[in-house]
């Protein structure tokens, strides 16, 4: 039988009707038509007697072989004459369906009206919510080490079950979160735990339950009421201590590589030795926060700023390059310890000390285990002690400086060989003139005086003629010794060729250069034993030319004046000195040797100045 009423369709089955002795109860049929969801009439065995057009899923569910418990519930409802509530899930063409079932027995205990409410959507939403919550929890666990929430009073009202920083969640709830933070970072952390706006990736230093420092990466968001009233803060924290340590180490390694590369490029590209080491000193000073850095190197000349340490055999050192203010030479103990404080496998060690104003550190440099210099740094005392990372960078640069110092020493050795007279070991003419030019340029920046002495041996030719060149070489070598022992390390001495010599006197005015010339003439007495004839003994004639930065002149002009004065000394009796007139247009500070007819300086016309008569003085 099929009836249409109010747009509803009722379906009955002949089999079900025959089995139950006739048509379904009219009240049950009316209920089927009135119910908007799935509805059907079943007998106690689970056979469908009638259904509305929504009931296909319900009928299939009841007929499923696994629906034994549902069919048993039908019979139970008939037996007890009591409604029964059940939940059930089934599979249809649209997927999994969920129902809440109400089983209503008829008054004559013959049929059961089953009304179903489709809960598939609600069940899916609940499942999705549960899954979402589980997923969110997994994400939180994966992205953070703990989650937290603070209330209006700023105290913790929630901490994830696993606790935080070695403390349990129970111990942390109700406490001030700032108690977890390292004292130095509590100001920034206070704004995070009470933030009024979203904050991401804030790094903080905290302390765990053992007092160890822990680096945290935190994010937080405010909890707001419907009216935007602040209720607290919710956030997560992740322990990034290990990553932070790695990042810091990587940055430090990159900084060391940058400084080392800069130093290597400087050594490769710079030609000037002083500029090369000065740039390296500046790069190292910036890298470790030093105010002054000195790079010392082995001296190939007698101009060392530090004497050798005899017990350890430290080489003489000169200042190769400096960055920052001049704080004077390092303590001698610094170099003795830095360059000779180690054992055979680690020859060089760091030396350090602290003063009221600076922390000082020194390390020796070497090439193939041979000491060739040192690196010394001064840093403000308030910066604290030198760190292990500072030492690594300094050690790296010191290794490069050791190689550079060796290259510089080899260059200077080759240069000196090209500038040195092979017989006497003094500068040759080329080397001497280059150095004099350099010193004249330096004088141009000051008003200090200097003097050039031209020296020619008297009566030298008869020695070669009578005794040969071997005896003449003895004279020249002895002459070099006399000049070297009676001049200062800052002076220059050269053999210009043959029996001609020259001396540059640093910071010498007319009076000082005269005294020095007297001293040299006195020393020439040592030459007499090598003379060819006692009537014509070996001696020297000296021409003096004084110059000053106040009135610069060329090296040619200076040499011409000294050479002319030397010949004047020879012409007026030999074994004496003569002071040249100042260069043209230069007002004289002291009178020259006198007018052409006047006696030479240091004696009179009737009593010429000989080396054994003139007064001498070390100058």
Q: Please name the fold of domain 250-417.
A: Beta-Lactamase (3.30.450)
Q: pLDDT at position 91, please?
A: 67
pLDDT in tens, 396-431: 899 889 988 898 888 888 877 888 999 999 999 999
Residues contacting 134, CB < 8 A, separation 6+: none
Which residues make Cβ contacts (< 8 Å) with residue 131, sequence separation at least 6? Answer: none
Q: Classify 272 as helix, strand or coil.
A: coil
Q: Are residues 296 and 318 in contact, defined by beta-carbon separation less than 8 angstroms?
A: yes
Quick check: 591 and 601 in contact, CB under 8 A?
A: no
For helices 510-523 and 469-485, give the axis angle rounded to 10 degrees: 140
Domain spans, the chain: 2-119, 144-239, 250-417, 429-579
- Least confident residue range of 30-34, 53-57, 368-372, 444-448: 30-34
Q: What is the mean pLDDT of residues 312-330?
A: 78
Quick one: 550 exposed, middle or buried, by C-beta within 10 A (0-12, 13-18, 19+)?
A: middle
Distance CA 406, CA 413 (A): 10
Lowest model confidence (mean pLDDT) among 253-262, 305-314, 426-435, 604-613: 604-613
Q: What does pLDDT average to over the chain?
A: 82
pLDDT (0 to 100) of residue 388: 87
DSSP 8-class letter at 178 = G
Greatest mean pLDDT among 4-8, 33-37, 604-608:
33-37
Which of 2-6, 347-351, 464-468, 563-567 has the lowest average pLDDT? 2-6
SS3 325: coil
The three-state DSSP-derived secondary structure of 216-269 is EEEEEEEEECCCCCEEEEEEEEEECHHHHHHHHHHHHHHHHHHHHHHHHHHHHH
Residue 241 has pLDDT above 60, yes or no: yes
The mean pLDDT value for 298-322 works out to 59
User: Residue 1 pLDDT more than 90?
Assistant: no
CA distance 38 to 15: 21
Q: Is the pLDDT of residue 225 over 60?
A: yes
Residues 6+ apart with CB under 8 A from 288: 377, 379, 386, 390, 393, 394
Indicate if 250-417 has the same CATH topology as 2-119: yes
Give the CB-side neighbour count of residue 573, counting CA atoms within 13 A: 18
User: Residue 459: is its pLDDT beyond 90?
Assistant: yes
Q: What letter does residue 151 receive in the DSSP assignment?
A: -
Model confidence over 383-395: pLDDT tens digits?
888 988 899 889 9
* C-alpha atoms less than 13 angstroms from C-alpha of 354 in its C-beta half-sphere: 8
- Burial class for 484, CB neighbours closer than 10 Å (0-12, 13-18, 19+): middle
H or E stretch including 3? Answer: strand 2-5
| Topology annotation, domain 2-119 | Beta-Lactamase (3.30.450)
| Structure confidence at residue 169 as a pLDDT band (50, 70, 90) | very high
For the beta sheet containing 577-579, the strands, ordered from the edge strand earlier in sequence to the opposite edge, are 492-497, 500-506, 449-458, 539-548, 577-579
Q: How many CA atoms lie within 13 A of 174 on its CB side?
A: 3
Q: What is the predicted pLDDT for the residue at 307?
A: 44
Mean pLDDT on 62-75: 87
Fold of domain 429-579: Alpha-Beta Plaits (3.30.70)
- As a whole number, mean pLDDT of residues 184-198 equals 83
The token duo for 358 is: 């600076």
pLDDT confidence tier of residue 155, bands split at 50, 70 and 90: very high
CA gap 178, 193 in Å, rounded? 8
Question: Does domain 144-239 sit in CATH 3.30.1380.10?
Answer: no
Rg (CA), the chain: 53
CA distance 210 to 192: 24
Please state the φ and ψ torsions of residue 436, each to the nearest 5 degrees.
-65, -40
């Amino acid at each position: 039988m099929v009836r249409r009423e109010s747009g509803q369709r009722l379906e009955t089955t002949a089999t079900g009707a025959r089995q139950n002795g006739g048509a379904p109860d009219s009240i049950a049929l009316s209920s089927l038509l009135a119910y908007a969801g799935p509805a059907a009439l079943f007998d106690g065995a689970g056979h469908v007697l009638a259904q509305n057009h929504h009931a296909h899923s319900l009928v299939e569910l009841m007929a499923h072989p696994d629906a034994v418990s549902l069919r048993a519930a039908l019979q139970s409802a008939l037996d007890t004459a009591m409604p029964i509530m059940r939940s059930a899930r089934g599979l249809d063409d649209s997927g999994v369906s969920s129902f809440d079932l109400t089983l209503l027995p008829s008054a004559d205990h013959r049929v059961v009206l089953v009304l179903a409410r489709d809960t598939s959507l609600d069940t899916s939403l609940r499942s999705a919510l549960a899954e979402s919550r589980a997923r969110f929890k997994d994400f939180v666990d994966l992205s953070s080490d703990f989650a937290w929430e603070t209330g209006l009073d700023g105290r913790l009202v929630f901490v994830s079950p696993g606790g935080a920083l070695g403390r349990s969640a129970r111990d942390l709830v109700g406490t001030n979160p700032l108690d977890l933070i390292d004292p130095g970072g509590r100001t920034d952390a206070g704004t995070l735990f009470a933030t009024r706006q979203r904050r991401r990736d804030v790094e903080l230093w905290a302390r765990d339950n053992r007092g160890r420092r822990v680096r945290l990466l935190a994010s937080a968001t405010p909890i707001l009421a419907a009216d935007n009233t602040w209720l607290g803060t919710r956030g997560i924290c992740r322990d990034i201590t290990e990553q932070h340590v790695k990042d810091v180490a990587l940055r430090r390694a990159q900084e060391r590589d940058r400084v080392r590369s800069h130093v290597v490029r400087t050594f490769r590209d710079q030609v000037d030795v002083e500029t090369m080491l000065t740039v390296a000193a500046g790069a190292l000073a910036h890298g470790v926060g030093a105010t002054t850095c000195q790079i010392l190197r082995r001296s190939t000349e007698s101009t060392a700023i530090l004497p050798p340490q005899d017990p350890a055999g430290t080489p003489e050192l000169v200042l190769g390059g400096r960055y920052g203010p001049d704080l004077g030479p390092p303590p001698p103990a610094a170099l003795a310890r830095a360059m000779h404080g180690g054992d055979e496998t680690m020859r060089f060690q760091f030396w350090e000390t602290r003063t009221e104003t600076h922390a000082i550190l020194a390390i020796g440099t070497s090439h193939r285990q041979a000491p060739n210099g040192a690196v010394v740094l001064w840093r403000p005392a308030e910066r604290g002690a030198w760190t292990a990372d500072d030492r690594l960078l300094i050690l790296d640069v010191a290794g490069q400086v050791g190689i550079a110092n060796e290259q510089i020493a080899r260059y200077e050795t080759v240069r000196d060989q090209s500038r040195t007279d092979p017989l006497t070991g003094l500068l040759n003419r080329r080397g001497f003139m280059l150095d004099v030019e350099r010193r004249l340029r330096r004088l141009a920046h000051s008003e200090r005086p200097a003097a050039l002495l031209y020296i020619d041996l008297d009566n030298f030719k008869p020695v070669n003629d009578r005794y040969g060149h071997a005896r003449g070489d003895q004279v020249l070598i002895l002459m070099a010794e006399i000049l070297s022992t009676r001049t200062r390390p800052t002076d220059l001495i050269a053999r210009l060729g043959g029996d001609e010599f020259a001396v540059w006197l640093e910071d010498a005015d007319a009076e000082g250069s005269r005294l020095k010339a007297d001293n040299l003439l006195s020393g020439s007495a040592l030459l007499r034993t090598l003379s060819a004839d006692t009537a014509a003994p070996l001696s020297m004639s000296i021409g003096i030319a004084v110059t000053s930065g106040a009135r610069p002149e060329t090296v040619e002009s200076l040499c011409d004046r000294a050479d002319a004065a030397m010949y004047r000394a020879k012409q007026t009796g030999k074994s004496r000195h003569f002071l040249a007139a100042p260069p043209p247009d230069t007002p004289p500070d002291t009178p020259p040797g006198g007018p052409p007819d006047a006696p030479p300086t240091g004696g009179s016309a009737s009593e010429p100045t000989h080396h054994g008569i003139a007064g001498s003085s070390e100058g």
